[in-house]
Amino acid sequence: MKKIRYYDRNQEVLMPVEKRTKTFEEYSLGYTINLAIDEAKRCILCKDADKRCMKGCPINVDIPGFISKIAEGNILEAYKIITQTDIFPSICGRVCPQERQCEGACILYFDTVRNKRNKGLPVNIGALEKFVGDFVRISGIEPSVEVEDKKGYKVAIVGSGPASLGCAYELARRGIDVEVYEALPKLGGVMFYGIPNARLDKSILEYEINKLKKMGVKFHTGIVIGRSVSLKELKESFDAVFIGVGAGRGNLGIKGDNLINVYSAIEFLMNIALGCPMADIKKVAIIGGGFTAVDCAISAIRFGMETHVVYRRTRETSSARDEEWDHIQEEGAIIHWLTQPKEIIGDENGYAKGLLCVKMELGEPDESGRPRPVEVPNSEFVIDCDAVVLAIGQKPNPIAFEELNLKTTKWGTLEVDQHYMCSVDGIFASGDVVNGGDTVVRALKEGKEAAKHIYDYLINKFRRS
């Protein structure tokens, strides 16, 4: 029997710390072909992968299927297998929090069937997927997508994040005309204006979007639905409408948040992504513990700022990728776990000059089963800083849909039925605007699923009973 390689997981090559903190270029340099083949050989190609890694993957990529092809050296075939479900391997391979998804359910690491920790390290599924996507892109191979004959229907898609792109792909593939309306100058949603180039090179996004353009999807930028064009007008001129406006609205909500140099994470990141001028900041305190906080930290470090991250819980409860916490720590970020910010302190001219915090400790579990952080008495302290960034959860932005009074939940997310249809017939939605904010791959999957229901609505005249 072949020996199981529990421990010798191949890591991707990283740019040295001194170099990567000075550039917005990607710092994770990926696998060579030899490393990829070697890592692929670690996979034991579980017969019940659908109960393991594949179940952990929100979009159910055929993981042993594509990995076995890499092991054979047939990268193009691996690409075809991945893209049957995940149309953006280069992107998901980079941005998925794999340790909580596919890799967290790899048998070498965790036995999901017996529900117990195994002794080894998971197959580096993310890096392999990224390798496959990158290999095909860089080699200039243009895998063709079969597009069905035109069906004579047209669908308008609002927003250009992963949910919208997934929906556009699926509809275009099935012969439906698709037009995407994006408010901002660049396409890709959070993948463009949120996730920094250091983690996801913008040229990859451009490449993937070009593929959709080649399939006939039309993109319009600079169109704010709800202002430039109303949702009602869209509904009247298209056979169906899909809303994928995300939940990107920034959030504030701490005493002192109106001081000068206090930013929402979205403002901070969007400024950088769009190349707008930034204030001259020396020391920044970033509040939050998810993807957004880590991305703000990656960016702040690269601008030479002394970077503090303040999170009231622990690393284990963070939604960001585990290795990224390691990376920013190596790069010099000062991370304050179990620390609750209380107030931003200002100087006499209204500039932020410090963040008052209190230490926390873990107490009894809350409704979610996670231990609730409670304040440690008399543990207040101040972090000196000249800017504060709030990376504490986003809200859906209603301007695209407020005028049609679509039903929303108490969190402001759009209410949809099991077909992703909103309270108005013919208007569909998915991604963050429905789920309240999750991951790229989940938005992608839900966008594709919504497309199937839109198709059903158009072709089979499915109507809500």
Partner 1 sequence: MAEVLEVIDISKSLKLITLKSLYLSKAKPGQFFIMQYQEKPERIPVFIMDADIERNAVSFLLQKSDDMVVTEAFENIKPGQKLHYVEGPAGKPFPQLEYKNILFVSINWGFAGIYNVAKHLKPKNKIDLAFINSDAVHLEDLRSYTGIFDSVYEFDSVEAFSKIDKPYDVVVSAGSNELAKELVSVYEDKNVLCAVITRMLCTVGLCLACRIQYDGKLKLPCVEGPWLEANKIDFDDLNRRHLILKEVLVRSRKS
Picked from partner 1, ligand SF4, ligand FAD, none, the partner binding residue 264 (CB below 5 to 8 A depending on kind) is partner 1
Give the whole-angstrom CA distance, residue 167 versus residue 446: 8
Cross-strand bridge partners of residue 229: 225
- Residue 340, classed as helix, strand or coil, is strand
Cα–Cα separations (whole angstroms), residue 284 to 106, 177, 325, 381, 444: 38, 46, 17, 16, 33
The phi, psi pair for 260, rounded to 5°, reads: -75, 140
Q: Give me the amino acid identity at 333.
A: A
Picked from ligand FAD, partner 1, ligand SF4, none, the partner binding residue 291 (CB below 5 to 8 A depending on kind) is ligand FAD
Binding test (CB under 6 A) with ligand SF4, winner from 35, 40, 53, 156: 53
Site string for ligand FAD, 239-258 (x = CB under 6 A): -----xxx-x----------
Stretch in the footprint of partner 1 (CB under 8 A) among 91-99, 211-219, 257-265, 437-445: 257-265
Give the whole-angstrom CA distance, residue 350 versus residue 338: 28
Q: Which of 185, 200, 164, 339 has its CA nearest to residue 275?
A: 185
Stretch in the footprint of ligand SF4 (CB under 6 A) among 41-49, 236-244, 257-265, 288-296: 41-49
Give the whole-angstrom CA distance, residue 73 versus residue 218: 36
Site string for partner 1, 235-254 (x = CB under 8 A): -------------xxx-x--
DSSP 259-305: SBTEEEHHHHHHHHHHT------SEEEEE--SHHHHHHHHHHHHTT-
* 283-287 and 262-264 beta bridge pairing: unpaired
Binding test (CB under 6 A) with ligand SF4, winner from 107, 127, 259, 390: 107
Site string for partner 1, 178-207 (x = CB under 8 A): -----xxx----------------------
Tokens of 39: 């890592």
Per CB under 8 A, residues contacting partner 1 are 183-185, 221-224, 226-229, 248-250, 252, 258, 260, 263-264, 266-267, 270-271, 274-280, 349-351, 397, 399
Per CB under 6 A, residues contacting ligand FAD are 95-96, 158-164, 181-184, 189-191, 194-195, 224-226, 244-246, 248, 269, 291-292, 295, 394, 397, 399-400, 431-433, 437-441, 443
Per CB under 6 A, residues contacting ligand SF4 are 43-46, 49, 52-53, 57, 59, 61, 63-64, 86, 92-93, 96, 98, 101-102, 106-108, 123, 125-126, 129, 441
